[in-house]
Amino acid sequence: MERKRLIFHIDVNSAFLSWESVYRLRQDPHALDLRTIPSAVGGDAKSRHGVVLAKSTPAKKFGVVTGEPLVHALRKCPELMVVPVRFDLYQECSQRLIRLLESYTPTIEKFSIDEAFLDMTETIHLFGDPQTTADRIRARIREELQFTVNIGISSCKLLAKMASDFEKPDKTHTLFPEEMPDKMWPLPLRDLFFVGRSAADKMRRIGLYTIGDVARCDAAVLRTHLGDKYGSMIHRYANGIDEDPVADREAANKGYGNSITLPRDVADYDTACQVLLALSETVGARLREDHIRCSCICVELKNWQFATQSHQLTLDTPTDSTSVLYQNACRLLREFWDLTPVRLIGLRTSRLAKNSYEQMSLFENRQTQKMKELEKAVDKIRGKYGVDSIKRASFLKENTLVDHAVSKKKHLTSCQQQRYSEDKHS
């Protein structure tokens, strides 16, 4: 007899800030807990550059929001304590969380560094009813790992994720289809996954203000105003329809990529190329770490209206080199970008092959070989001392728009990165 599908969504509360706090308290039990004061992770407090990547609950009361420029946050809350980003620490904490979750089900999808989906359909009978099991998971994480999570429970990934965004922190919420009229449909449009500011504005202009309004709206009307593909998807989501399976990252990862939503629009090649360099650093390091080479490179741009354009090329020889990725990404950019201001820049690779052997290139010279050895050395240093232990000089300038290693959401597939970025920052 087929079991009823059961999905858990785990979302770490204020992940970066919580993990930083746990680390500091482990080093010194008498240290100040950042979660109890107005504090934030991200940027440089002295130079006032960068953006807020995570904030404490006390900081939220001052109006500090994730993604805003640090200079704005400090105006709202002058006593805000700002600590630098340490992605190596966050990756370690994320891995510990996944190892704990693996004791409940083998079917886990790491959706981002601080989120995961668990398919509990075949294993829930081993632990008890869903609500009690989720509460026990939260208690284990709180006691063993010293941070808290929200857990959403439903019959599909979409509704489980929506449920985990309800009241925080350290809560369990359910959102099954029969609960949607009371728990989900009264919510504002922006609370629906994948609805950004632009789409919400368009829907408000035709008299739609809540998720329930969209659910009851004729799908044809949505397709007319939002486009066929997006309009149909939003109508399905508003009605809780999502058949996407919980998929292991390695099985789903057909390409390595990363993207970043920028704090301001970019309309010049130099700045855009610097963003591509940061993305190339991250993607190249991941390819080398997994002993993978790519043969196809794609650059993706998205403007403030969410209009997307992309351009790709195929390499003569597969590569895992940051320099090769960067050079070809810049070449693509110059070929197809007309300098229309963009807010999101992405770099994706595909046509992957295991690095079991390497075909010699007739055009490879000693300089190319030295660059490969340099990149491997940099990977080794960063792996031992942290991602910020060594930087390119171009990222030391005061007006740098992005950090040197855009490593957020490191393990998402290209499609998931796009969806997550739009959901968080649109």
- Residue 108's φ and ψ, nearest 5 degrees, are -125, 135
Q: Which of 9, 12, 61 is nearest to 40 (CA)?
A: 61
Position 242 scores a pLDDT of 92
pLDDT at 357 over 80: no
**Residue 212 contacts residue 192 (beta carbons within 8 Å):** no
Q: Which two tokens mark 208?
A: 């739609």
User: What is d(CA 170, CA 149) in angstroms, rounded to the nearest whole number?
Assistant: 5
Position 355 scores a pLDDT of 57
Position 100 scores a pLDDT of 95
Q: Which of 154, 149, 152 is nearest to 139 (CA)?
A: 149
Fold annotation for 185-238 = DNA polymerase; domain 1 (1.10.150)
Average pLDDT over the chain, rounded to an integer:
83
Fold annotation for 253-425 = Dna Ligase; domain 1 (3.30.1490)
The set of catalytic residues is: 115
pLDDT at 6 over 90: yes
List beta partners, residue 92.
Answer: none
Mind listing the pLDDT tens digit for each residue in 368-410? 556 666 776 776 665 655 555 555 555 555 555 555 555 443 3
Q: From the DSSP assignment, how many helices (H) and strands (E) are in the chain? A: 16, 12
Domains of the chain, residue spans = 1-180, 185-238, 253-425
Q: Which of 296, 363, 403 is nearest to 51 (CA)?
A: 403
Mind listing the pLDDT tens digit for each residue in 75-130? 999 999 999 888 888 889 999 999 999 999 989 988 888 999 999 999 999 999 99
pLDDT at 167 over 90: yes
| Torsion over CA: 61, 67, 70, 76 (sign) | negative
Position 17 scores a pLDDT of 93
Position 359 scores a pLDDT of 45
Looking at residues 21-38, what average pLDDT do you find? 93
Position 48 scores a pLDDT of 62
Position 52 scores a pLDDT of 87
Residue whose token pair is 């939260």: 138
Among 34-48, 219-233, 382-396, where is mean pLDDT lowest? 382-396
Mind listing the pLDDT tens digit for each residue in 184-196? 999 999 999 888 8
What residues contact 64, with CB distance under 8 A and at least 6 apart? 38, 40, 52, 55, 73, 76, 77, 80
pLDDT at 416 over 80: no
* Percent of the chain whose predicted confidence (pLDDT) is above 70: 79
pLDDT at 210 over 60: yes
According to the per-residue pLDDT averaged within each range, which of 48-62, 69-83, 400-414 is highest?
A: 69-83
In sequence order, which ranges of 227-337 are alpha helices (DSSP H)?
228-238, 249-252, 269-289, 322-336
Looking at residues 61-79, what average pLDDT do you find? 91
Q: Which of 176, 34, 54 is nearest to 114 (CA)?
A: 54
Position 250 scores a pLDDT of 46
User: What is d(CA 51, CA 54) in angstroms, rounded to the nearest whole number?
Assistant: 9
CA 184 to the chain's CA centroid: 24
Among 59-68, 119-128, 365-374, 409-418, where is mean pLDDT lowest? 409-418
Position 202 scores a pLDDT of 94
Position 84 scores a pLDDT of 87
Give the DSSP per-residue string, 189-249: GGGSTT--HHHHHHHHHTT--BHHHHHHS-HHHHHHHH-HHHHHHHHHHHTT--------H
Among 244-253, 290-299, 356-365, where is mean pLDDT lowest? 356-365
List beta partners, residue 260.
Answer: 345
1-180: CATH architecture = 2-Layer Sandwich (3.30)
Predicted TM-score of the model (pTM): 0.62
pLDDT at 411 over 70: no
